[in-house]
Amino acid sequence: MIYDSNGGKWYKGNLHTHTTDSDGAKTPEEAKRLYKSLGYDFLALTDHFHVNEPDNCDGMLVFSGAEYDWAKDGCYHIVGYGLKDKPRLVKGDLPQKFIDEIKRCGGVVTLAHPAWSLQRPDKMVELSGIDCTEIYNSVSGYPYSPRPYSGNIIDVATVMGFRATLTAADDSHFYGDEVGRGFVYVKADELTEEAILKAIIKGDVLATNGPFITCGFEDGYFVVKCEKGCKYVQFFTSNYYNPDTTATGGTVCEARFKIKPGKDKFIRAEAVDFDGKTAYSQYYFIDPPKKNF
Ligand SMILES: [Zn+2]
Ligand SMILES: [Zn+2]
């Protein structure tokens, strides 16, 4: 857990983890011990078509979860965690059924690794009930796969109406290079399953490979504060061109983007530190200007 400059508490977690209960290289107990030793506050065990019993580990919360995949007309991997009941799902069920059943069991629904799945934005918009999607998935990156980053696909889907909290996760399988590369900080008053899940649904989440940032609107600007200073910050809006999307030079502790109401429908930011690690803000939506009649 870390504090932001306003005293807010941000808990660290990995929300996508495999074990020997499916195709992961560590047992649930070993996986829990590893993430606990790395300083994580919460962990979701999300084996393929297998629901783990929630079982906390020395003060680290462990959520029950599972991942359901479908690959016929396109590829969909749907992760659910915080389950209060076991989803009644089998291989061959449709992606929307995965989502509906996870919801029935009180779980949080994540559309996993869109870039790895070569997800089509027009198909993402058709899904109903998605809470989160992974802008970064560690095991979809080097040395296992070439597509860890899904920002471009999610941007297009968001222009088309898709809405989801952005997360980052290891999707641990091999327990090699992917461990610790992608994680979330969740802002909550206390470390309980209820508080963490509620904050995730609300979007009080920072997806990151390491750096910590906070963001918000201030006097017509979107402002990003980098707690330890970054090499550069880039802004992503619903427009394909903006002249002022990069803040760089020296150590960037604060970056500002002037909102153009009526032009930019959303904004998000990525802050890259001097080790090349990135923090990914949530999407912030800009209300259209009120018309004066
Ligand atoms: Zn997957
Ligand atoms: Zn997975």
Same domain, 177 and 61: yes
Query: Rounded to an integer, what distance in angstroms lies between the CA atom of residue 246 and that of residue 229?
Result: 15
124 CA to centre of ligand 2 in angstroms: 18
Residues with CB under 5 A from ligand 1 (ion): 77, 112
What's the mean pLDDT when you consider all of the chain? 95
Segment 214-237, tens digit of pLDDT = 999 999 999 999 989 999 999 999
According to the 3-state scheme, what is the secondary structure of the chain? CEECCCCCEEEEEECCECCCCCCCCCCHHHHHHHHHHCCCCEEECCCECCCCCCCCECCEEEECEEEEEEEECEEEEEEEECCCCCCCCCCCCCHHHHHHHHHHCCCEEEECCCCCCCCCHHHHHHCCCCCEEEEEEHHHCCCCCCCCECHHHHHHHHHCCCCCEEEEECCECCCCCCCCCCEEEEECCCCCHHHHHHHHHHCCEEEECCCCEEEEEECCEEEEEEEEEEEEEEEEECCCCCCCCEEEEEEEEEEEEECCCCCCCEEEEEEECCCCCEEECCCEECCCCCCCC
Same domain, 123 and 234: no
34 CA to centre of ligand 1 in angstroms: 21
**Residue type present at position 209:** N
Query: Rounded to an integer, what distance in angstroms lies between the CA atom of residue 198 and that of residue 180?
Result: 24
User: Is 53 among the domain residues?
Assistant: yes
69 CA to centre of ligand 1 in angstroms: 7
User: Is 99 among the domain residues?
Assistant: yes
Q: Are 167 and 132 in contact (CB under 8 A)?
A: yes
Query: Rounded to an integer, what distance in angstroms lies between the CA atom of residue 127 and that of residue 161?
Result: 11
Segment 236-265, tens digit of pLDDT = 999 998 889 999 999 999 999 999 878 889
User: Is 268 among the domain residues?
Assistant: yes
Same domain, 237 and 204: no
User: Is 291 among the domain residues?
Assistant: no
Same domain, 230 and 180: no
Same domain, 103 and 191: yes
Query: Rounded to an integer, what distance in angstroms lies between the CA atom of residue 148 and that of residue 212?
Result: 19
Give the model's pLDDT for residue 287. Answer: 75
Same domain, 196 and 254: no
Query: Rounded to an integer, what distance in angstroms lies between the CA atom of residue 51 and that of residue 42?
Result: 17
Task: Choose the final residue of a domain: 208, 243, 277.
Answer: 208
Same domain, 183 and 50: yes
Task: Choose the final residue of a domain: 175, 208, 241.
Answer: 208
Same domain, 151 and 249: no
Residue range 84-89: mean pLDDT, rounded: 96
User: Is 290 among the domain residues?
Assistant: no
Same domain, 184 and 228: no
Segment 147-193, tens digit of pLDDT = 999 999 999 999 999 999 999 999 999 999 999 999 999 999 999 99
35 CA to centre of ligand 2 in angstroms: 16
| Domain encompassing residue 114 | 2-208
Same domain, 148 and 256: no
Residues paired with 169 in a beta bridge = 137
Query: Rounded to an integer, what distance in angstroms lies between the CA atom of residue 288 and that of residue 264?
Result: 9
15 CA to centre of ligand 2 in angstroms: 10
**Residue type present at position 23:** D
Same domain, 195 and 230: no
pLDDT range class, residue 17, cuts 50, 70, 90: very high
Give the model's pLDDT for residue 288. Answer: 60
Q: For position 32, which CATH number holds?
A: 3.20.20.140
User: Is 292 among the domain residues?
Assistant: no
Q: For position 241, which CATH number holds?
A: 2.60.40
Query: Rounded to an integer, what distance in angstroms lies between the CA atom of residue 289 and that of residue 190?
Result: 37
Give the model's pLDDT for residue 55. Answer: 85
Residues in the chain: 293
Query: Rounded to an integer, what distance in angstroms lies between the CA atom of residue 221 and that of residue 256?
Result: 6
Kindly report the CA angle at 201 between 196 and 204, in degrees rounded to 5? Answer: 65
Segment 107-139, tens digit of pLDDT = 999 999 999 999 999 999 999 999 999 999 999
132 CA to centre of ligand 2 in angstroms: 14
Cis peptide before 87 (omega within 30 of 0): no
Compute CA distances 107 → 130, 221, 292, whole Å. Answer: 11, 35, 44
Task: Choose the final residue of a domain: 208, 224, 248.
Answer: 208
User: Is 293 among the domain residues?
Assistant: no
48 CA to centre of ligand 1 in angstroms: 8
What predicted TM-score, i.e. pTM, was given to this entire model?
0.96
Tally the domains of the chain.
2
Same domain, 224 and 272: yes
